């Protein structure tokens, strides 16, 4: 019987890193080891019209950040302080929502609030969840609609809301713009730090930059 990971790989795009490229140095042996089997079959990929982005272990083509590079604290995680301190961020939805592997289990990480929610007991469970509910877990409908109007997302880009969803921004094409994934995370990391200690209903000032 075909496993969920194998089924996901069957519908995914081409590998983002090619055999023979140097592997990224370990992000931490206990963190990197669980992903080596599926990544040996296809080292990083896009799926669902780029709504799902899985980082390669090896150095990829221009604009494709390796898993090690993406998890370097100085890139974006430090902006979140302790909110993003744990786990291996190995994949993203179209909005930059992270899929995080920690102690073998997979959770989601909301870039606007820093909130983590348990998703699956392992990578096979993650793949099964994505296949069962890809519209919600990857943002595919909006990814499709935005790209139909504006063209394909470029390497390293995610769709970031102009007005954050947590502040009432709508899940519409008009509220989205393509932005470098790192810049998108850093902007929202500052927002997440502000929000975590505020009581419900508190007023927040957020500056929109086109």
pLDDT of amino acid 141: 98
Which of residues 44 and 94 earns the better pLDDT score? 94
CA distance 28 to 139: 30
Q: What is the pLDDT of residues 50-82, one digit of tens each?
A: 999 999 887 666 668 888 889 999 999 999 999
Does the pLDDT of residue 27 top 60, yes or no?
A: no
Average pLDDT over the chain, rounded to whole? Answer: 86
Which residues are 160's β-sheet partners? 177
pLDDT digits (tens, 9 = 90+) for 134-190: 999 999 999 999 999 999 999 999 999 999 999 999 999 999 999 999 999 999 998
pLDDT-derived band at 196 (thresholds 50, 70, 90) equals confident
pLDDT of residue 37: 62
- pLDDT of residue 201 exceeding 70, the answer is no
User: What's the pLDDT at 35?
Assistant: 61
Separation CA 57–CA 35 (nearest Å): 9
How far apart (Å, rounded) are the C-alpha atoms in residues 121 and 104? 7
**Global confidence as pTM:** 0.88
Residue 132: pLDDT band by 50, 70, 90 thresholds?
Answer: very high
E strands of the chain, at which residues?
A: 45-47, 52-54, 88-92, 98-102, 105-109, 116-120, 157-161, 176-180
pLDDT at position 65:
86
Given a cut of 60, whether residue 33 has pLDDT beyond it is: no
Residue 169: how many other CB atoms lie within 10 Å = 16
pLDDT, average across residues 27-48: 68
């Amino acid at each position: 019987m075909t496993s969920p990971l194998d089924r996901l790989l069957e519908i995914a795009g081409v590998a983002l890193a090619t055999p023979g490229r140097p592997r990224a140095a370990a992000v931490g042996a206990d963190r990197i080891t669980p992903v080596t089997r599926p990544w040996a079959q296809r080292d990083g990929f896009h799926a669902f019209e780029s709504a799902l982005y899985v980082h390669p272990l090896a150095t990829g083509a221009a604009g494709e950040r390796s898993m090690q590079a993406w998890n370097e604290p100085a890139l974006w995680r430090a902006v979140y302080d302790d909110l993003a301190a744990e786990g291996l961020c190995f994949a993203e939805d179209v909005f930059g929502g992270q899929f995080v592997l920690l102690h073998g289990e997979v959770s989601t990480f909301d870039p606007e609030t820093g909130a983590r929610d348990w998703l699956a007991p392992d990578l096979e469970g993650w793949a099964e969840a994505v296949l069962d509910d890809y519209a919600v877990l990857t943002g595919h409908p909006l990814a499709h609609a935005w790209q139909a109007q504006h063209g394909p997302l470029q390497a390293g880009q995610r769709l970031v809301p102009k007005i954050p969803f947590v502040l009432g921004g709508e899940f519409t094409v008009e509220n989205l713009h393509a932005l470098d994934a790192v810049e998108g995370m850093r902007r929202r990391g500052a927002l997440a730090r502000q929000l975590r200690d505020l009581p419900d209903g508190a007023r927040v000032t957020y500056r929109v930059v086109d």
